Amino acid sequence: MPRRVLAKVRRWTAGTRALMVLLAGAALGFVGLSLFGTTMIYTSTEAFCATNCHEMANNTTLEYRDTIHDKNRTGVRAICPDCHVPHSPIPLYVAKMGALNDLWSHHVTHSVDTREKFQAQRPKMAQRVWAYMKGNDSRECRHCHTVANMDPDKQSPIAKARHEKAKKEKLTCVDCHYGVAHEVPDGPGPQELDVDRSLIPRSAIF
């Protein structure tokens, strides 16, 4: 059996013709991967994320405008994907596949297509994001905010003391820093939310 397979492979790869087909395949691979990569980059831009559908443009984008992550002293910003999707390539692609769900609700279920519907869903959506961030120890925050390179002496005395306290109590960023870019919904905040972090394997945090 293996010898027959080998002979088959040998016959396939014989001649210049096979080389051309191989090169054509490689070119297809290049083009396909580039298109995929470009799509991934484009879908992570502000132009796509913040303004492409009215669900975002009329609600979350407006709320985000002029918050500290949009406008500040130095002009160093964080846009939608900086907080809301993983930064490592493979988890990012998985997250983007999950975002197909947004297409479904935009085109089929119209779940948040008016301000009223959005406000009604807000607690649920906020809690989902908080649970996600608590679950991965605010990984997306920490992608930009490197704790080891924070200078407590440049922070206000109250921030310094609270960060110290948070470290002792094993709180994560979003436990206190919630509603920093969007409206805070009614209902329990992140600290009241119960997330069993022990259930999340460390390997899930890429």
Residue from 2, 107, 108, 151 binding other proteins (CB under 8 A): 151
- List the interface residues with other proteins, window 109-148 (CB under 8 A): 144-148
State which residue, 72 or 114, has the beta carbon closest to other proteins. Answer: 72
Helix (H, G, I), strand (E, B) or coil at 13: helix
Amino acid (one-letter) located at 126: A
Residue from 6, 27, 99, 205 binding other proteins (CB under 8 A): 27
21 part of the interface to other proteins, by CB under 8 A:
yes
State which residue, 70 or 137, has the beta carbon closest to other proteins. Answer: 70
- Give the residue among 151, 116, 134 at the shortest CA–CA distance from 205: 134
Cα 98–chain centre separation:
10
Q: How many CB atoms lie within 10 A of CB 141?
A: 19
State which residue, 15 or 187, has the beta carbon closest to other proteins. Answer: 15
Alpha carbon distance, N-terminus to C-terminus of the chain? 42
State which residue, 73 or 107, has the beta carbon closest to other proteins. Answer: 73
Taken in order 72, 70, 134, 114, the sign of the CA dihedral is positive
CB of 107 to other proteins, least distance (A): 31
- List the interface residues with other proteins, window 52-111 (CB under 8 A): 70-77
CB of 113 to other proteins, least distance (A): 29
Taken in order 192, 198, 200, 205, the sign of the CA dihedral is positive
- Give the residue among 127, 96, 91 at the shortest CA–CA distance from 203: 91
Where along the sequence are the contacts to other proteins (CB under 8 A)?
8-9, 11-13, 17-18, 20-30, 32-34, 37, 70-77, 144-151, 154-155
